[in-house]
Amino acid sequence: MPTLHFRSFLLLLTAVSIAFISILLPFYAAIFWGGVLAVIFSPLHRRLLRILGGRSPSLAAFLTLLCITLIVILPMLFIAASLANEVAGLYTRINSGQLNLGGYYEQIVGALPPSVHGWLNSFGLGDLLSIREKLSTGALQASQFLAKQAVSVGQNTFQFVVGLGVMLYLLFFLLRDGADIVPRLKRLIPLEDSHRHGLFQKFATVVRATVKGNIVIAAAQGLLGGLMFTFLGIQGSLFWGVMMAFLSLLPAVGASLIWVPVAIYFLVTGALWQGIVLILFGVLVIGLLDNLLRPILVGKDTKLPDYVVLISTLGGLSVFGLNGFVIGPLFAALCMASWDLFPDAIALHQQGLREIKPTGSSDSPPAPPPR
């Protein structure tokens, strides 16, 4: 192909690709989660396809989609609806003064020994009136934000239903035709076969590890924490359980950001057995759950360093919103995998330059012409 024609083709390819991506951007979340669920549940689809004798890929994809709906989508919709109702009730209690974080802080400080008061004053935490007003204002603003988010979700019900329909529709075809789509995508990447295979394998591994591992662990910690809060009579146990599940996605901090302050409040206000039970449960059950389940669900060989997971998760959440807890670690893993392939790529490039060197050429200077 002449150079002008090839450059014109590249320009056309770039223009139509940018136009197509701009069209898909409003549904990027639906497309992204359709691909993620297809990667996670592709083993189930292959197993159903083998049970059916390989004769009906469409039926196997439909049965897999039905399992995904029953296992993932319907429970998430139920939790979201219950959480919206609980957030509305939480906003009402904070707005009416029934739930006063500033008052709780004042009770905690008042129950501490006098020696601790001096330590709090040195850090600027001894001004009870100021701290109480800040906590009350912050809690009210946070509840208002959550209430607005719940209202916006209700107002955007049509958009949510359309996005869910797009995700399910795309997921069906990704499951049914995934065996043909993946090789075509691999051919589009101008890399060595081993490099392409390694990157695709890393992508699938990280997606499964992030979602299957982190989500299952977070859901288990949130469920157990919410049940313990219900047992101890803490209001809004569903909300706090969801918060613990969400914070469990962050290594090194996790659900302790929720249950530790509650346990401290119990201890300093005289509810000793509640505080002791919550501490024991948080340390021995919630805290150890990650160490027990993560090697089984994720595997030590596929786990990113905790500091990389923490930074990439926070960065992904800040850039992509809730979808970022998967996108952030995914980008980090692909970046690290690409840099791992860099030395091999350099070696292959140098080998190719040596192979295309003209036969008989040498590094010695040419002989002078005869006189």
Q: What is the pLDDT of residues 270-294, one digit of tens each?
A: 788 888 998 898 888 888 877 777 6
pLDDT score for 170? 92
> How many residues are recorded in the chain?
371
Looking at per-residue confidence, does 20 or 361 come out higher?
Answer: 20
- Interatomic CA distance for residues 103 and 84, integer angstroms: 26
Are the beta carbons of 312 and 329 closer than 8 angstroms? yes
**Where are the alpha helices (H) located in 156-282, listed in sequence order?**
157-188, 193-208, 216-231, 237-247, 256-268, 272-281
**Of 239, 310, 240, residue with least CA distance to 278:** 240
- Interatomic CA distance for residues 362 and 335, integer angstroms: 39
Mean pLDDT of 293-304: 61
- Interatomic CA distance for residues 254 and 249, integer angstroms: 7
Q: Is residue 39 over pLDDT 80? A: yes
Written in H, E and C, the secondary structure of 245-262 is HHHCCCCCCCCHHHHHHH
Reported as a single tens digit per residue, the pLDDT across 115-159 is: 555 555 565 555 555 555 665 566 556 666 666 655 555 556 777
Mean pLDDT of 86-90: 69
Instruction: Give percent of the chain above pLDDT 90.
Output: 7
């003209």: which residue's tokens? Answer: 358
pLDDT score for 302? 54
Provide the token pair at 241: 């359980």
Name which of 38-52, 145-159, 180-194 the model is least confident about.
Answer: 145-159
pLDDT score for 339? 79
Provide the token pair at 214: 């982190």
Reported as a pLDDT band with limits 50, 70 and 90, residue 360 is: very low
Q: Is residue 363 over pLDDT 60? A: no
Checking 43-51 for CB contacts under 8 A at 24+ apart, the result is 45/175, 45/178
- Interatomic CA distance for residues 64 and 176, integer angstroms: 10
CA angle 191, 193, 199 (to 5 degrees): 70
Considering 36-40, 232-236, 339-343, the range whose residues carry the highest mean pLDDT is: 36-40
Looking at per-residue confidence, does 165 or 114 come out higher?
Answer: 165
**Exposure of 53 in the CB half-sphere (CA atoms within 13 A):** 1
pLDDT score for 108? 63
- Interatomic CA distance for residues 266 and 276, integer angstroms: 8
Give the C-alpha distances (Å, rounded to integers) separating 332 from 270, 315, 324, 349. 46, 10, 12, 25
Looking at per-residue confidence, does 319 or 202 come out higher?
Answer: 319
**Of 236, 200, 157, residue with least CA distance to 42:** 200
Looking at per-residue confidence, does 90 or 113 come out higher?
Answer: 90
pLDDT score for 124? 55
Mean pLDDT of 4-24: 87
Q: Is residue 331 over pLDDT 80? A: yes
- Interatomic CA distance for residues 72 and 77, integer angstroms: 9
Looking at per-residue confidence, does 340 or 172 come out higher?
Answer: 172
Name which of 86-95, 234-243, 297-306, 350-359 the model is least confident about.
Answer: 297-306
User: In angstroms, what is the C-alpha Rg of the chain?
Assistant: 28
Q: Is residue 63 over pLDDT 90? A: yes
Reported as a pLDDT band with limits 50, 70 and 90, residue 67 is: very high
Are the beta carbons of 52 and 60 closer than 8 angstroms? yes
Name which of 55-59, 65-69, 154-158 the model is least confident about.
Answer: 154-158
List phi, psi (to 5°) of 255.
Answer: -70, -15
Q: Is residue 364 over pLDDT 90? A: no
List phi, psi (to 5°) of 127.
Answer: -80, 90
Are the beta carbons of 317 and 328 closer than 8 angstroms? yes
Average pLDDT, the chain: 76
Neighbours of 245 (CB within 10 A): 24
pLDDT score for 62? 92
DSSP 26: G
| pTM, full prediction | 0.69
Looking at per-residue confidence, does 193 or 15 come out higher?
Answer: 15
Mean pLDDT of 163-173: 91
- Interatomic CA distance for residues 315 and 288, integer angstroms: 26
pLDDT score for 145? 62
